Amino acid sequence: MTGRIVLAATPIGNPDDASARLRDAIAHADLIAAEDTRRLRDLARRLGVELTAELVAVHDHNEADRAVMLIDRARDGAAVLVVSDAGMPTVSDPGFRVVEAAAAGGVDVTVLPGPSAVLTALALSGLPTDRFCFEGFLPRKAGERARSLAALTSEPRTMVFFEAPHRLAESLAAMAEHWGHDRRAAVSRELTKTYEETRRGSLAELAAWALAEAPRGEIVVTVAGRPARAASMEELVAEALARVVAGERAKDAVADLAATGGVPRRELYAAVLSARAEGASGA
């Protein structure tokens, strides 16, 4: 670790998820930048690790200033460990400005991977995981939140959000209003803890549940992306004709488009032939 910045993921709930590398890093760091030093001390106690490092609080309000000091210490040879309260630093938590400054200053940065609430909730959601985006917390004010949701209306990827318990029902209802009441979603809370729970359903169903039950704890909301719109027969015919003009065989273009568009191949082929005939007679 000497002379570098080390970003380390900490448990998101269960301390037994701490890796051996994390324990070793906490025990041997010269300087630890923690989002909350009290929570770091508690984690070290739970892990049975003796803290000998200098501790410094690095949070949203002071990270820009503290980043310079951390980089200077690493450049002087110190082993600098950066941790957030839970999960991976920089992911909706402090750490980004430290990495940015390290990259600009030529200081080595490495990561001790580990627990992530984003990936854990995504895996539990039952929604597509091949493509996803993380959107953090929605704005608190209704107008700003509406603008953020409107900007994501056409997002095809699965979306992951953090949300506070007292705003959950309102946020789910707003999502349903903007994206459709039937849009699939999941709400995960207290991940890896004793009362871990994941609810799956439509946005409307989850909004009603949140309003009635007022769930507590740390919450992650996962929402399916916008479903792909099925192309009309006219659009498929037009694309097939364009591909034929570009040199592709009509049968090959039709076979491909029929498979992806979910229409009978014979029906599409007949429509393409009819359109070509009309085009020829019109010419």
Q: Which of the pair, 60 or 117, is modelled with greater confidence?
A: 117
Which of 95, 85, 73, 80 has the alpha carbon at shortest distance from 25? Answer: 80
Q: Which of 93, 115, 137 is the last residue of a domain?
A: 115
Q: Which of 115, 136, 169 is the last residue of a domain?
A: 115
109 and 12 share one domain? yes
Residue 7 pLDDT class (50, 70, 90 cuts): very high
186: in domain:
yes
Contacts with 234 (C-beta within 8 Å, 6 or more apart), sequence order? none
Which of 231, 214, 78 has the alpha carbon at shortest distance from 239? Answer: 231
Averaged pLDDT, 8-36: 96
31 and 89 share one domain? yes
- The whole-number pLDDT of residue 262 equals 80
132: in domain:
yes
228: in domain:
no
38: in domain:
yes
216 and 134 share one domain? yes
79 and 169 share one domain? no
Residue 106 belongs to domain with CATH number: 3.40.1010.10
Chain segment 130-151, per-residue pLDDT in tens: 999 999 999 999 999 999 999 9
Residue 283 reports pLDDT greater than 60? no
Residues 52 and 24: beta-carbon distance below 8 Å: no
User: Which residue range is the domain that position 22 belongs to?
Assistant: 4-115
Residue 36 reports pLDDT greater than 70? yes
Chain segment 229-266, per-residue pLDDT in tens: 778 899 999 999 999 998 999 999 999 898 878 889 99
131: in domain:
yes
- What integer best gives the mean pLDDT of the chain? 93
135 and 218 share one domain? yes
- Cα→Cα distances 22→73, 83, 124, 146, Å: 20, 10, 25, 40
Share of the chain above pLDDT 70, in %: 98
3-state SS class at 1: coil
- The whole-number pLDDT of residue 281 equals 63
108 and 8 share one domain? yes
Residue 15 DSSP symbol: G
Residues 22 and 8: beta-carbon distance below 8 Å: yes
174 and 242 share one domain? no
Averaged pLDDT, 176-202: 96
155 and 110 share one domain? no
34 and 59 share one domain? yes
22: in domain:
yes
Residues 40 and 59: beta-carbon distance below 8 Å: no
Distance CA 33, CA 4 (A): 13
68 and 94 share one domain? yes
142: in domain:
yes
Residue 1 pLDDT class (50, 70, 90 cuts): low
How many independent structural domains does the chain possess? Answer: 3
- The whole-number pLDDT of residue 260 equals 79
- The whole-number pLDDT of residue 125 equals 97
105: in domain:
yes
Residue 201 belongs to domain with CATH number: 3.30.950.10
Residue 2 reports pLDDT greater than 80? no
Residue 67 reports pLDDT greater than 80? yes
- The whole-number pLDDT of residue 261 equals 80
95 and 151 share one domain? no
- The whole-number pLDDT of residue 3 equals 87
Q: Which of 198, 223, 248 is the last residue of a domain?
A: 223
190 and 242 share one domain? no
